[in-house]
Chain A
Amino acid sequence: MSQTGTGGVVPSGGGGYTAAYSDRPQPANLADILERVLDKGIIIAGDIRVNLLDIELLTVKIRLLVVSVDKAEEMGIDWWRHDPMLTVKERGLAEENDELRRRVEELESGSGSGRSSGQKRSASRSRGSSSGG
Chain B
Amino acid sequence: MAEQGRYLYAVCRSLDIAALDGLRGLGDRPVEGVESDGLVGLVSAVDLDEYGEDGLRRNLERLDWLETAARGHDAVVQAAALLAPTAPMRLATIFRDDDGVRRRLGEQAARIHTVLDRVEGHEEWSVKVLTHAAESRPEPVGAGGSGADYLRQRKQEQESRDTGLRDAHLVAERVHDALAALAVATRRLAPQDSRLTGLSGTMVHNAAYLVPRLRSDEFATAVGRAATDNLDVHVDARGPWPPYSFAMLDDQ
Interface of A toward B, CB cutoff 8 Å: 1-6, 8-12, 14, 16-21, 27-38, 40-51, 54-55, 58, 61, 63, 65-68, 71-72, 75, 77, 79, 84-85, 112-115, 117-118
Most-contacted residue by chain A among B81, B189, B234, B240 (CB, 10 A): B189
Count how many chain B residues have C-beta atoms less than 8 Å from C-beta atoms of the other chain. Answer: 77
- Of A42, A45, A50, the residue contacting B115 (CB under 8 A) is A42
B55 to chain A, nearest CB (A): 9
A46 to chain B, nearest CB (A): 4
In the complex, identify which listed stretch (B88-96, B146-154, B156-164) lies at the interface while the others stay far away. Answer: B88-96
How many residue pairs link A and B with beta carbons under 8 A? The number is 213
* B185 interface contact, C-beta 8 A: no
Q: CB distance B74 to A37 under 8 Å?
A: yes
A residues within 8 A CB of B197? 29-32
Most-contacted residue by chain B among A47, A58, A66 (CB, 10 A): A47
Residue of B nearest to A22 (CB): B79
- Of B53, B189, B248, the residue contacting A48 (CB under 8 A) is B53
15 additional contacts, CB 8 Å, given A20-B82, A33-B70, A41-B91?
A4-B220, A19-B78, A19-B123, A19-B242, A35-B192, A37-B74, A40-B88, A42-B90, A46-B94, A48-B95, A48-B96, A58-B66, A112-B61, A113-B62, A118-B195
A107 to chain B, nearest CB (A): 9
A10 to B128, CA, bound (A): 11
* B110 interface contact, C-beta 8 A: no
A72 to B90, CA, bound (A): 23
- Of B53, B191, B220, the residue contacting A51 (CB under 8 A) is B53
Interfacial residues of chain B within 207-235, with CB under 8 A of chain A in the complex: 213, 216-217, 220, 223-224, 227-228, 234-235
In the assembled complex, 24 residue pairs joining A and B whose CB atoms fall closer than 8 Å, in A order, are A1-B83, A2-B213, A3-B240, A6-B239, A9-B224, A9-B239, A17-B239, A19-B82, A21-B78, A28-B241, A29-B197, A30-B197, A36-B74, A40-B247, A41-B247, A42-B115, A44-B93, A44-B249, A47-B96, A50-B92, A61-B61, A77-B191, A112-B61, A114-B63
- Of B73, B195, B238, B248, the residue contacting A117 (CB under 8 A) is B195
* B38 interface contact, C-beta 8 A: no
With A29-B196, A50-B56 already in contact, the answer to whether A44 and B104 are too (CB < 8 A) is yes
A residues within 8 A CB of B108? 44
B46 to chain A, nearest CB (A): 9
* B198 interface contact, C-beta 8 A: yes
Q: CB distance B87 to A42 under 8 Å?
A: yes
Residue of A nearest to B100 (CB): A47
Q: CB distance B88 to A9 under 8 Å?
A: no
A47 to chain B, nearest CB (A): 5
With A10-B236, A42-B248 already in contact, the answer to whether A48 and B193 are too (CB < 8 A) is no
A61 to B195, CA, bound (A): 14
